[in-house]
């Protein structure tokens, strides 16, 4: 399977938002090792530049809340084969009655507007060329109600709707839009969740979370022909079917 994925990814220009750490950084390393040219976007410029050195990629500082910056990112990247809308926030975690409205709104700006901005900037070129893949990083929270996660659940539900609408609008032009729901991943976000002590996810043991490299491997699979089967929906790693398709170990029994 590794050689097959290498063929799917080699030579492609892949833009990754939120690339400075966590899922974004791990995905950049996985895809660059397979021969992709990764275009790395995030607000954290120092970490981004270091990752660019490691991957041979291009670092472009970008705040996804600002459409002009996202458009400039796409323009600089050139003909983008794949966009990974990965930038996302969950902190601060708080029950609705205790939440800070400004912080809540900032999560909306990153998690929803950031994805919309990526779609808006990438789709015209992809539609014109008649090809392209967009993968929106989703979550089981898109279809769940989790205490303290009102901002995250609401924004991930919105991202799933954006995935569905974008697929409906762009599929006929040869553009594939899909979501990826990886489950819990061993990143700094999980440390924030654990520190909150709110809802059962915060109580999970660290070894219950999958490594972020597994998400990168799954993205490599979805960039290939397998992605055809998941247009307009979320691919999940919370099932053995998903794990098998991605070439990952089965769920613990």
pLDDT of res. 253: 81
Question: Average pLDDT of the chain?
Answer: 95
From the CB of residue 16, how many other CB atoms can be counted at a distance below 10 Å? 31
Comparing CA positions, the residue from 94, 92, 99 lying closest to residue 189 is 92
Question: What is the per-residue pLDDT for 6?
Answer: 56
Q: Residue 79 in contact with residue 63, Cβ under 8 Å?
A: no
Mean pLDDT of 173-193: 95
Enzyme catalytic residues: 152
Q: Looking at 86-90, 122-126, 197-201, which range is the least confident one?
A: 197-201
Cα 79 to chain centroid, rounded: 20
Q: What was the pLDDT predicted at 26?
A: 97
CB atoms within 10 A of CB 159: 25
**Per-residue model confidence as pLDDT tens digits over 193-220:** 999 999 999 999 998 999 999 999 999 9
What's the gap between Cα 45 and its chain centre? 19
Q: 185: which strand partners?
A: 210
In the structure encoding, which two tokens stand for residue 204, read together?
């999970």
Pairwise CA distance, residues 112 & 157, whole Å: 9
Query: Which residue carries 């926030």 as its tokens?
Result: 89
> pLDDT band at 4, cuts 50/70/90?
very low
pLDDT higher than threshold 80 for residue 191:
yes
| Residue-range domain boundaries for the chain | 2-246
Distances (CA, A) of 248 to 10, 18, 88, 220, 226: 21, 24, 24, 12, 15
Strands 37-42 and 13-17: parallel
- What tens digit of pLDDT does each residue of 226-253 get? 999 999 999 999 999 999 999 999 998 8
Q: What is the pTM of this model?
A: 0.95
**55 in Cβ contact with 32 (< 8 Å):** yes
**For residue 175, what is the enclosing H or E element?**
strand 175-181
Mean pLDDT to the nearest integer, 134-145: 96
| Domain 2-246 superfamily per CATH | NAD(P)-binding Rossmann-like Domain (3.40.50.720)
Band (2; pLDDT cuts 50, 70, 90): very low
Residue 53 has pLDDT above 60, yes or no: yes
Q: Which of 32-41, 123-132, 201-210, 229-238 has the lowest mean pLDDT?
A: 201-210
Query: Under 8 Å CB-to-CB from 20, ≥6 apart: which residues?
Result: 40, 42, 43, 44, 47, 48, 51
pLDDT at 30 over 70: yes
């Amino acid at each position: 399977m590794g050689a097959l994925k290498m063929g799917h990814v080699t030579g492609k220009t892949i833009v990754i938002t939120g690339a400075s750490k966590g899922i974004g950084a791990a995905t950049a390393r996985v895809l660059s090792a397979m021969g992709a040219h990764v275009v790395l976007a995030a607000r954290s410029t120092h970490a981004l530049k270091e990752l660019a050195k490691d991957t041979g990629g291009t670092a472009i500082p970008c705040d996804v809340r600002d459409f002009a910056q996202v458009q400039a990112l796409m323009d600089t990247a050139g003909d983008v084969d794949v966009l990974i809308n990965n930038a996302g926030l969950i902190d601060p975690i708080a029950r609705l009655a205790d939440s800070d409205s400004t912080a809540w709104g900032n999560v909306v700006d990153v998690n929803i507007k950031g994805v919309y901005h990526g779609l808006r900037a990438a789709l015209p070129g992809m539609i014109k060329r008649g090809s392209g893949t967009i993968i929106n990083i989703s979550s089981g929270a898109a279809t769940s109600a989790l205490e303290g996660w009102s901002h995250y659940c609401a924004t991930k539900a919105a991202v799933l709707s954006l995935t569905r609408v974008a697929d409906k609008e762009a599929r006929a032009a040869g553009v594939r839009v899909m979501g990826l729901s990886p489950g819990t991943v061993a990143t700094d976000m999980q440390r924030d969740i654990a520190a909150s002590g709110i809802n059962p996810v915060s109580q999970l043991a660290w070894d219950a979370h999958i490594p972020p490299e597994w998400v990168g491997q799954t993205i490599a699979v979805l960039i290939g022909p397998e992605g055809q089967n998941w247009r307009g929906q979320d691919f999940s790693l919370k099932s053995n079917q998903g794990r098998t398709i991605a070439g990952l170990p089965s769920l613990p029994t």
